[in-house]
Amino acid sequence: MSLPILYSFRRCPYAMRARLGIMLSGESVDLREIILKHKPQAMLDASPKGTVPVLVLSDGSVIEESIEIMCWALAKSDPADLLLQRTPALQEVAKALIQTNDGCFKSWLDKYKYADRYPEMSEQYYRQQGEVFIAQLESLLNKNQHLLTDSPSIADYAIYPFIRQFAGVDKTWFENADYPNVQRWLTTHLHSSEFKTIMKKYPTWLESNQSFKFGNRYSD
């Protein structure tokens, strides 16, 4: 049976999230790297919304949302209990955190990152709105090494690609901000072997006509 096909863009935090879920589960896919300015017709045929990630399963069905791709992979194999099946109460906390990240925080992150496109308010204002969520994470990380326990869960892997993006808008400010726990947590993930694996560069599918085996079985 052919492997599922994952359309991905290396720097997109949603696509990072999907790749993390697949790799951590031990599942494998054929990865097709794209550039957003030149989207493959095959991807658009599968998912007309035209955003990544897109996972086309072997039976032709399509999963278009990054968190659903994570859950699909981890439902097949979750050796570290990233889905928190053994602690149902924490599942609801994780779900709420991810919803806040994907909703309110992501909206402020976009305005902060592209403040020149939103001249109604200043970059500093947008950053301060985003800091509400950063402060929430700081408080959680004051209790545990990771967001919910001393081990990472789906919440950590689903959220840190977006905090990475927030930190990158003004690295000097972030490194000197009063969020030592978030800084430690983010650094830990960015220096991890998992992150290095999912950030490996691949030629684009349209240019190379190649897809690449990706997943735990194919990790270097």
pLDDT at 211: 86
- pTM, to two decimals: 0.95
**96 and 104 in contact (C-beta within 8 Å)?**
no
Which pair of tokens denotes residue 151? 């081990």
Half-sphere exposure of 37 (CA within 13 A, CB side): 0
Mean pLDDT of 33-46: 94
Q: What is the pLDDT of residue 219?
A: 45
| pLDDT of 157 | 98
Same domain, 75 and 103: no
Same structural domain, 38 and 101: no
* Number of domains making up the chain: 2
Q: What amino acid occupies position 87?
A: T
- Average pLDDT of the segment spanning 89-113: 98
Q: 34 lies in which domain range?
A: 5-81+196-218
The per-residue pLDDT for range 177-203, each reduced to its tens digit, is 999 999 999 999 999 999 999 999 999
- Residue-wise pLDDT tens digits, 134-191: 999 999 999 999 999 999 999 999 999 999 999 999 999 999 999 999 999 999 999 9
In a shared domain, residues 16 and 109: no
Does the structure show a pLDDT above 80 at 217?
no
CATH number of the domain residue 19 falls in? 3.40.30.10
Tell me which residue of 22, 32, 40, 28 sits closest to 2, measured CA to CA. Answer: 28
Residues 115 and 148 occupy one common structural domain? yes
